[in-house]
Amino acid sequence: MSLIADYGFVLLVLACAFGFFMAWGVGANDVANAMGTSVGSRALTIKQAILVAMVFEFCGAYLAGGEVTETIKSGIVDIDSMTPDLLVLGMMSALLAAGTWLLVASTKGWPVSTTHSIVGAVIGFGAVGVSMDAVHWAGVGPIVASWVISPLLSGFVAFGLFMSVQKLIIDTDNPFQSAKRYVPLYMFLTGFMVAIMTLSKGLKHIGLDLSGGESLLLAVVVGGVVMLAGIALLSRIKVDTEADRTFHFSSVEKVFAVLMIFTACAMAFAHGSNDVANAVGPLAAIVDVIQSSGAAAIDAQSTVPGWVLLLGAIGIVVGLATYGYKVIATIGKEITELTPSRGFAAELATATTVVGASAIGLPVSTTHTLVGAVLGVGLARGIGALNLGVIGKIFMSWLVTLPIGAVLSIIFFFILQAIFL
């Protein structure tokens, strides 16, 4: 206990700095993924994307975030086998390692997984700092499997959505009228998916415990409200004959640009509910140990203090504003050419896959899911529409994320041990 007794305040300040750094990485890399298709298809400007991200990421994290320390405590390492001193230094090294890798990936424009970064980092300090037996290796299997499952699943859904757009709208005699007729149905689907995710994850922590039937009914109502709001916005869009001369579907894409605003909100919400805990979860664990002077065990159900969540939210927004444009360019422009109709299919497929995966407890990466969806949309137009060189670099960055997170975490763990112990 001497470490926490002697250096408690210093460790807390350092942990907050590392947590902010990790949150910055989530903003620069992961939130850019959530907004990449919207900005890449020109449905939103970068300023509008930041505003949407600020509001809906925060709402997603608070309303549907679930147990915030679950990512770190979900069977990856055995926390009971660690002393409070080792746990604090280990979690700090994990935050610093994951943040460092996200900084490198973001400067290169590689969309990597923040979940895998932090999990790799926790495995690293657990295996070397404690013992190989402290890591539950069986828990790593589903994470590796998700590298394949989530892109394939979202790619399949995006392919289907884009083909439905092609059949119902693009390949008709009057695409503009068809767009006005069918886009409200896609808006209903978007509102419904976000609502059912929020409600199915449970709102017990804000005093709202709904049954399955009540959740379904409320989700239908939310979908209806979103659809009506969309119809009101769509009524203002008129055919632009001048623009249609240069690009036949210009007016149709304007209709989809309105839809993209809704799917961007859905993506930010879905991302907030799944990935914000990667930054604030380990920090909350450190705060819990330091505030109890090392006496209390970490509770898997422990909630994040309000100020920790706020620190994470600010870090995410700063990350998106400062370096997010690099990964936005990769997702939105370099994998395949995106228009609002294609971007919509990718975003809704991603949100749907993340919702479905959360419901069945499958650990998926928002990043991998969105890249898979963008690939699915590209494949719907033929393999020639894809930039295979960029895709190869992205896949390589995915493969090395877990081991690099682990190695960096081990290095930082030994440095912190040398300084404090």
Per-residue pLDDT band for 414 (boundaries 50, 70, 90) equals: very high
Per-residue pLDDT, 67? 46
Ranges 164-178, 229-243, 251-265, 270-284, most confident: 164-178
Per-residue pLDDT, 405? 93
Per-residue pLDDT band for 312 (boundaries 50, 70, 90) equals: confident
Check whether 228 has a pLDDT greater than 90.
yes
- Distance from C-alpha of 65 to C-alpha of 80, rounded to nearest angstrom: 25
Output the six-digit token pair for 172. Answer: 């008709």
Per-residue pLDDT, 139? 73
Mean pLDDT, residues 188-215: 71
**How long, in residues, is the chain?**
421
- DSSP element (H, E) containing 17: helix 2-25
Per-residue pLDDT band for 95 (boundaries 50, 70, 90) equals: very high
Q: Where are the domains of the chain?
A: 2-420
Residue from 419, 404, 415 nearest 99 by CA: 404
Per-residue pLDDT, 221? 94
pLDDT-wise least confident of 66-80, 112-126, 234-248:
66-80
The per-residue pLDDT for range 139-150, each reduced to its tens digit, is 777 777 877 888
Q: The whole model's pTM is what?
A: 0.80
- Distance from C-alpha of 32 to C-alpha of 39, rounded to nearest angstrom: 9
Per-residue pLDDT band for 298 (boundaries 50, 70, 90) equals: low
The CA R_g of the chain, rounded to the nearest whole Å, is 22
Asked if 49 and 329 touch (Cβ cutoff 8 Å), the reply is no
Per-residue pLDDT, 286? 84
Per-residue pLDDT band for 118 (boundaries 50, 70, 90) equals: confident
H helices of 26-83, in order, are 32-40, 46-64, 70-73
Check whether 68 has a pLDDT greater than 50.
no
pLDDT-wise least confident of 1-10, 45-54, 353-362:
353-362
Residue from 372, 371, 354 nearest 363 by CA: 354
Per-residue pLDDT, 94? 93
Q: Which residue has the higher pLDDT, 18 or 5?
A: 18
- Distance from C-alpha of 172 to C-alpha of 150, rounded to nearest angstrom: 32
- Distance from C-alpha of 238 to C-alpha of 177, rounded to nearest angstrom: 10
Per-residue pLDDT, 280? 78
Strand, coil or helix: 224: helix
Per-residue pLDDT, 274? 67
Mean pLDDT, residues 321-346: 78
Check whether 248 has a pLDDT greater than 70.
no
Angle CA 322–346–100, to nearest 5? 35
Mean pLDDT, residues 315-334: 77
The per-residue pLDDT for range 359-400, each reduced to its tens digit, is 666 667 777 888 888 888 888 877 777 888 888 888 888 889
- Distance from C-alpha of 125 to C-alpha of 408, rounded to nearest angstrom: 9
- Distance from C-alpha of 361 to C-alpha of 200, rounded to nearest angstrom: 12
Ranges 7-16, 126-135, 406-415, most confident: 406-415
Ranges 181-185, 200-204, 323-327, most confident: 181-185
What's the whole-number average pLDDT of the chain?
A: 80
Check whether 46 has a pLDDT greater than 80.
no
Q: What is the 3-state secondary structure (H, E, C) of 113-159?
A: CHHHHHHHHHHHHHHHHHCHHHECHHHHHHHHHHHHHHHHHHHHHHH
Angle CA 207–212–218, to nearest 5? 70
Asked if 218 and 210 touch (Cβ cutoff 8 Å), the reply is yes
